[in-house]
Amino acid sequence: MIDRRRFTGALAAASVWMAGGAARAQVGAALPLMRAPRLKPGDTIALINPSGALYEREPYAIATETLQALGFKVREAPNLRARYGHLAGTDRQRADDVNAMFADRNVHGILAMTGGSGGNRMLPLVDYEAIRRNPKVLGGFSDLTALINAVHAKTGLVTFHSPVGASEWNAFSVDHFKRMLMAAEAPTLSNAKADEDVLVPKAGRIATIRPGTARGPLLGGNLAVLTAMAGSSYWPSFKGAILVLEDTNEYIYRVDRMLSTLKIAGVFDALAGVVLGAFTNCEPGNGFGTLTLDEVFDDYFKPLGIPAWRGAQFGHIKKKWTLPIGLPVEIDAAAGTLRLSSAAVA
């Protein structure tokens, strides 16, 4: 015999879930926007390692010398060189470094040493109230997608999808980093002009999936990491957002599966626009035939009826934009540009 009260309750819960759509993407309401003070020559940048371990000493030396060449003093977080399996220390050690560097009044900015994996594991151990009280520039990409989106979601702080310490700091990447975080400019970002000696350059090309302009807060980063946060309280609100996505070393069928996760979670229904960066080494793999990346992106983004384009200069590539996570921006999907509405730092 059916328990009517339980049946009614279950039906109501199912109705909420089925009707949730975009609402399911709204894990928490967006908090008031908060900007960190801009970085200045002579400021101290702390290197942290919230994700994977490094196994050689030289990358630490190169990262330190790079930041010094930019005019900064460098502080190594206490557990920067720790290792626990493939991780750069235990969850507690890695979270303790995040918390300590935000609490240290002599540290002005915080940069991840590298990506890897494992950033999601330590999110519950981060002191978000302390970050709210001591806003600072926080930068990184790849696995740092977890931390930079979680910090923004929990505090309202604009964080940065930027090169990590171990990245190649070429002229293009340095210029974007300095204009965004030191000069406090509000630039219009576009791809570097190709310097190939050919009639039709291949580098820096964009592909418009659906033309148009759109405005909204910028959110996202690495597709695999963002998807692994699905439904948690560390996901930001995607309502009216511009979603940026990139990835590396994923078979196309996995890219498809991860995009389907975002779709059925209601994220795509909430968006104002989409910008796709580099999907580096995302190949068909072995076995049966596969959709192409073109077909996968068309399947998910063309039906949305919102501006979308691919080929933006961020991700696992040498020349990178620095992107402000949480800051309102405007995109032009035909021109392949992303314009900041205001400076990302104070």
Is 260 among the residues known to form the active site?
no
Q: What percent of the chain has pLDDT over 90?
A: 86
Which of 51, 108, 142, 162 is the catalytic position? 142
pTM: 0.91
The domain limits of the chain are 44-181, 188-340
**Coil, strand, or helix at residue 252?**
helix
Beta strand pairing status for 328-332 and 337-340? antiparallel
Q: How much is the pLDDT for 273?
A: 98
pLDDT tens digit sequence for 29-51: 789 999 999 999 999 999 999 99
Average pLDDT value over all residues in the chain:
92
Is 316 among the residues known to form the active site?
yes
DSSP run (H or E) holding 267: helix 267-270
Q: How much is the pLDDT for 194?
A: 78
Which of 108, 152, 161, 316 is the catalytic position? 316
Instruction: Kindly tell me if the per-residue pLDDT of 198 is higher than 90.
Output: no
Is 142 among the residues known to form the active site?
yes
CA 82, distance to chain mean position in Å, is: 24
pLDDT tens digit sequence for 122-146: 999 999 999 999 999 999 999 999 9
Q: How much is the pLDDT for 9?
A: 46
Q: How much is the pLDDT for 286?
A: 78
Hey, what are 96's tokens?
């303790």
Beta strand pairing status for 207-210 and 137-140? unpaired
Q: How much is the pLDDT for 21?
A: 46
Torsion of CA 146, 149, 151, 156, to 10 degrees: -170
Hey, what are 119's tokens?
């950033």
Over range 148-152, report the average pLDDT. Answer: 98
pLDDT tens digit sequence for 201-260: 888 899 999 999 999 999 999 999 999 999 999 999 999 999 999 999 999 999 999 999
Residues in the chain: 346
Which of 51, 108, 237, 246 is the catalytic position? 246
51 vs 24 pLDDT, higher one: 51
Hey, what are 198's tokens?
């050919």
The CATH superfamily assigned to 44-181 is: Murein tetrapeptidase LD-carboxypeptidase, N-terminal domain (3.40.50.10740)
Q: Which residues contact 199 (CB under 8 A, 6 or more apart)?
A: none
Could you write out the DSSP letters of every residue in 170-200? -HHHHHHHHHHHTS---PEE-PPPP--SSSS
pLDDT tens digit sequence for 60-119: 999 999 999 999 999 999 999 999 999 999 999 999 999 999 999 999 999 999 999 999
Q: What are phi and psi of 207, to 5 degrees?
A: -130, 120
- Fold held by 188-340: Glucose Oxidase; domain 1 (3.50.30)
Cα separation values, 104 from 36, 78, 91, 120, 130, Å = 14, 12, 20, 23, 10
